Structure 1
Amino acid sequence: MNRNEAFLHLNDPLPADIARRKDMGDLTGAIRLIDQRLEQCRQPLLAPRLEAERLRLSRLPGDYPYSRKEALAMIRAEWPQCTEDQFDALVDGGRIDWRMIDGELRCHERFLESLRIYPKEAPGLKQEETDNTLRDQVLARMEEAGELTARITLRASIRALVPVEGREVQAWLPIPAACPQQSEIRILECTPGGVAAPEHAPQRTMWWRTQGMDRFTVTYSYLFRARYVDPRTLPLDPVQPTFDLEEQAPHIVFTPYLRALAAEICRGCSTPAEKARAIYDYVTGQVDYRYQPAYLQLDCIADQCAKTLRGDCGVFALLFITLCRIAGIPARWQSGLAVRPDGVGPHDWAMFYLAPHGWLWADCSYGSSARRNMENVRRRHYFGSLDPWRMVANSAFQAPLTPPMSGWRQDPYDNQVGELMVDGRGLDAPEREWSQELLDFTLLEQED
C-alpha cells in the first residue's frame, strides 16, 4: 500500500489512551504508545491510522513553534500596548491558531500574518497591504469582453537541503494539466531525465529519479483562458447530473452537522444555481481567513471549518465542495498557483457543475477577502468565474502522484510546490526549499 493512503483513515478514532495523551499535549507519550502498538502487530487494521497519527505528531511542533510568551513578545514588538487580556481575547476569538504541545500553548508559525488581516482586533500591528486596483481592472475587462486569455511562462524548482551524494533522489514538480482553462501546454526546459505525467493526471508533475542530484527545475508555458459567467442568469436543464456527489473521507464527509447546515442554507432555493449561490454566500460571508498548519494536521476539514468559521483557500474550497455535494450539486477540487504579474504562490479553489453549461468555478477565499474589504462586485465575480492569473496542476484532492510516491509526502493531499524523496524517505518542509518564478505574463487581445 502507498503509505500516504494511511491518511484516508484519519476519521477512524484513535485508541482512547493515545487520544488522551494527544489532547493533553503529551506528544512524546502519545508517540510512545503508538510505537508500542505498532511493534506488537496485534491490530493490523489499526496500523494505517496509527502510522498517520505518528507522522502528524512528529511534525506538529514545526507548525506551532511559538510559546505564549514568545508570541506575545512578537506582538508587542510592534504593538507595545497589547495586554495579556487582549492576547487571550485573540486566542479565544479564533484569531490566533494554537495547539497544546508538551503541556504548553503553542502558536501557529504564521499567526502574526493572520492577525494583520484584522486591524480592528489587532490595531497596533502593521496592516496587511492589499491593493486590488489592477485585479479590479482585469475583472472588469474580463466581464466586459466575456473572457480573457493570458500567455504565461513559469520556472519552478525544488532543492534538497540534506546530503544526497551517492543516494537515490526522486523529485516531483507540478506542471500545467489539461483542463477547460488551459491549452498549448509546452515544457520548454527541464533538468535532464524529467518525465512528464499524462496531461490529464489528477496531480500532474514532472518526475525525476537520479543519483546524488539535489536540485530540479522545469520551465513551461501555457495559455490560460478565463471566461466570465454569471450562474444566476443561466437557463438550466430540468435534469442535472449525478457524478461528483459522493463523500471522500476523511475531509469531504456528510456529517450530521453539515447535512443540517446545507438544508438550512438552501431552504427556499428552487434551482441548483440558487443553491450553489446560497452556499457560496454562506461560506464567503461567514468564514474568515486564517493561515492554516499543514493540512495533514487537520481533522475532517469541511466539518471543522463549518464549526470554527476559520480557514484558508483550500479549507474554504473543501467546505464549498462538501455542501454542494450534499445539496445535489456536482463539485470538485482544482488547485495550483495564483500567477499575478507581481508574484506567484500556491492557491486552491472549487468547481461546480450546472447542466447544460458544464463546469463553473467558485473561489471562496477571494470572495471572503472581498467581503472583508466590503467590495461586493469582486465577491460576486468569484461565483462562477475566476481570473486569468492561474496555473492548474491538480484536479483532485488526495490523488497520487505519477509515479506514486512511496515515502511520506510533505503534503499528502495537494501538490503545489513539489515533493522530494531521498533513499525512499520523503523530505519534510525544513529539509527542502522551492521557488516559482514568473518569466512572462501577457494578456492577449481578443479576436474580433
Structure 2
Amino acid sequence: MTFQRPLAYILIVLIAATLLVAGCTMQATGSSPKAAADAARAQADTAFTAGNYHAAETLYALAQENYTAAGDTTDALSARDRGFVSVRMTIEFPYNKSAMAQAIADAYPAVPADRRAGWLNGSMIATMQSDGETWYYADNVGNMRYHNLDLMQNMTAAMNQTPLYDPLTHYAFAAVNATSGPYGGPVAWEGTEVLSVPRDQLPANGTLRLWFPQPIETGSQTNVTILSVEPAQYVKSETGTGADLGLAYLEIPLADVNGSFLNVTATFRFVQHDQRFVIDPAKVQPYNTTSPEYLKYTASGKNIVVTPAMKAKAQEIVGNETNPYLEAQKIYWYIMDTLPYSHAPHIWLDASGTPESVYVLDTGIGDCGSQSMYFAALCRSLGIPARSVGGYQLVPGSAGTHFWAEYYLEGYGWVPVDVTAAETADWSYNATADQRHQFKAYYFGGLDPYRYIIQKDVDIPLTPDPGNAVLFKMVVQSPKVVCDTCPDDVDLILQQYYTTTVNRA
C-alpha cells in the first residue's frame, strides 16, 4: 500500500507557494533597501497582528526581497519565515461565502437548496477571518457527507461496500478470549519510504535538513528493524527504535546533488499485533501519582491541554463516576455519540497556536487526530494518563495517515481507543444497530493490527531541535524539512514528492 498526499492538498500548497514568491519588489523613492525592508516588515507585523494575513503575506515577501537586496541575510530569513506563517494561516481557506456555497451546490446537486443553506450557516462549518472577510475551509465540502449520514450511507450503498468498516469486522466481531492476554496474532509488515525531489525545485547551494520518520517499538509493535537509510553518508543521527518518536536525521549539502532528482529512502520491517484488553473495573489499581510517566501523561501540552473549561467538560461527561476505566468509557461514548468525524484545518490550527483538543471542545467536530487529542485531554483533566498515538492505518483499500488514543490503567497498561475507526460503523448502509454497537464497543480497548506506529504521542520534540524553523512539528507522518536557502516553504511543498509503501511481509 502506497500513501501520498491528496491532490487537493498539493494544489493548495503550490498555489500558496506561488503567491508567496510572486510579490513585487518595491522600494520607497530615495530610501535604501534596508530602510524599505524595515518599513515593510513593520507594516507586515502590524497586519499580521490585526488578522490581515493576506496583506501580511505580501508585505513579508516585500521585506524579504529588500533585506536580500541590502545583504541582510538574517532579517531576510526572518521575514521569509513570517511569510510562511502568514500563508499557513490562510492556505486551507480558499473560499469566500459565495464560492463555498457554489462548491457545496456542485458537490450535492440533489440536496435541496434550503438544506445546503443550513449547512453553510450552521455551527459545524469551519471558517477563519482575514483582511476583514470570512474565509471557508476547503474540506467543508467533503465534511458535509460525514455530518449527514444519509448521504454517507447512500454513497456506501452505491459502492456496495463500506471502507474501513467492512474489512475490520473480522476483528471487531471475533470471539473474546479473556485468558489469552491483550496482544493477539502477529502480522509482519515491510515498508519503504521515498523522498524524490526534482533537482530544479531546490536551490544550488545550502543544506537541506531532513527528519525522516521511522517505526518504533511499542506494546503492540515489535521486532522493529531499520534496514537502511540512504544516502547513508548524510545521516547524522537516528533516535533508534526504542524512542518515543522514530527519526533519522540527515543533512544534505545541496551542492552535492548533481542528478535530476534528490532521492532519500528508508526501508524497515516490524510486527504488529491486534489488541483486545478485557478489563475488570474492580481490578483497576490506584495510580502512582508521583511517577514520571504519570506526571508526563496527565500534564497539559501544546495540543492535549488541561484547562478549566476542559476539566468542566470532563466532569460534566463522567458525573459522579470515579473509576478511571468507567470514566474513560463515558468519555469514549460521549465523543462517539455527539461529535461527528470531520476533517480539520491542521495547518491553520498549528500556525495560529490553537490546540487541537480546544478546537474540538469549541466546535464539536474533528478528525482522527483532533478526536484522539480531545479524548486524551478529557482523560488528563480527570487525572487519567492518556496520549495520542500517530502513524498510519494499513487497512486494504483505505490505508493512510492516522491517529488514535491510548489511556493508562494500573494493572493493565496502555489501553487503545480509536473513536474514528469506530465511527465508520455509522457509514455502513447495511449494518444492523447491534452490529454498529458491537463494532464501536470493540474500539474501546481493542485495535486491529493494520497499524504502523511512528510516535507514541503528539508534540514530541524533534531530535535534533530545529530551533525556530517554521515546521508542522505536531505529527511526523512524513519528513520534516528545513532549508535556509530555499525561497519557498519546502516543509509543505516537498510533501508531494514523498511516498510511504507498507505491505504485509
TM-score range with shorter-chain normalisation? Answer: 0.7 to 0.9
- The alpha-carbon distance between structure 1 residues 379 and 82, as it changes in their structure 2 partners (threshold 3 A), is closer
Distance (whole Å) between structure 2 residues aligned to residue 393 and residue 83 of structure 1: 44
Q: Any idea what the Cα deviations from partners look like across 1:170-190, whole Å, max 9, x if unmatched?
A: 222211012111221122343
Shift, 1:104, TM fit:
3.4
Q: 1:340 aligns with which of 376, 395, 420?
A: 395
Distance (whole Å) between structure 2 residues aligned to residue 419 and residue 109 of structure 1: 24
Map of 1:182-197 to 2, 5 A cutoff? 182-193=221-232, 194=235, 195-197=237-239
Distance (whole Å) between structure 1 residues aligned to residue 263 and residue 282 of structure 2: 48
Distance (whole Å) between structure 2 residues aligned to residue 365 and residue 105 of structure 1: 29
- The alpha-carbon distance between structure 1 residues 69 and 238, as it changes in their structure 2 partners (threshold 3 A), is closer
Map of 1:12-411 to 2, 5 A cutoff? 21-22=50-51, 27-28=54-55, 55-80=84-109, 85-119=114-148, 130-131=162-163, 132-141=165-174, 143=176, 147-160=184-197, 162-193=201-232, 194=235, 195-212=237-254, 213=257, 214-232=262-280, 235-239=283-287, 241-242=289-290, 243=294, 244-293=296-345, 294=347, 295-297=349-351, 299-370=354-425, 375-406=436-467, 408-411=469-472
RMSD: 3.4
- The answer on whether the counterparts of 2:53 and 2:87 sit within 8 Å (CA) in structure 1 is no
Letter in 2 for 1:91: L
More helix by share: 2
Partner of 2:38: none
Distance (whole Å) between structure 1 residues aligned to residue 313 and residue 103 of structure 2: 38
TM-score normalised over the length of structure 2: 0.72
- The answer on whether the counterparts of 1:371 and 1:379 sit within 8 Å (CA) in structure 2 is no
Q: Any idea what the Cα deviations from partners look like across 1:137-171, whole Å, max 9, x if unmatched?
A: 13334845761321011111224462244432222
Instruction: Give the gaps of 5 or more residues in structure 1.
Output: 1-15, 40-49, 443-448
TM-score normalised over the length of structure 1: 0.80
- The alpha-carbon distance between structure 1 residues 186 and 142, as it changes in their structure 2 partners (threshold 3 A), is farther
SS in 1 for 2:202: coil
Q: Any idea what the Cα deviations from partners look like across 1:291-335, whole Å, max 9, x if unmatched?
A: 111241461322331231101111111111111111111112211
Distance (whole Å) between structure 2 residues aligned to residue 324 and residue 424 of structure 1: 43
Shift, 1:241, TM fit:
4.4
Farther-moved stretch of structure 1 (58-67 vs 81-90)? 81-90
- The alpha-carbon distance between structure 1 residues 141 and 164, as it changes in their structure 2 partners (threshold 3 A), is farther
Aligned-pair identity (%): 20
Shift, 1:53, TM fit:
7.9
Shift, 1:27, TM fit:
4.2
How many residue pairs were aligned? 411
- The answer on whether the counterparts of 1:158 and 1:173 sit within 8 Å (CA) in structure 2 is no
More strand by share: 1
Larger Rg: 2
Partner of 1:421: 482
- The alpha-carbon distance between structure 1 residues 236 and 67, as it changes in their structure 2 partners (threshold 3 A), is same
Distance (whole Å) between structure 1 residues aligned to residue 299 and residue 467 of structure 2: 25
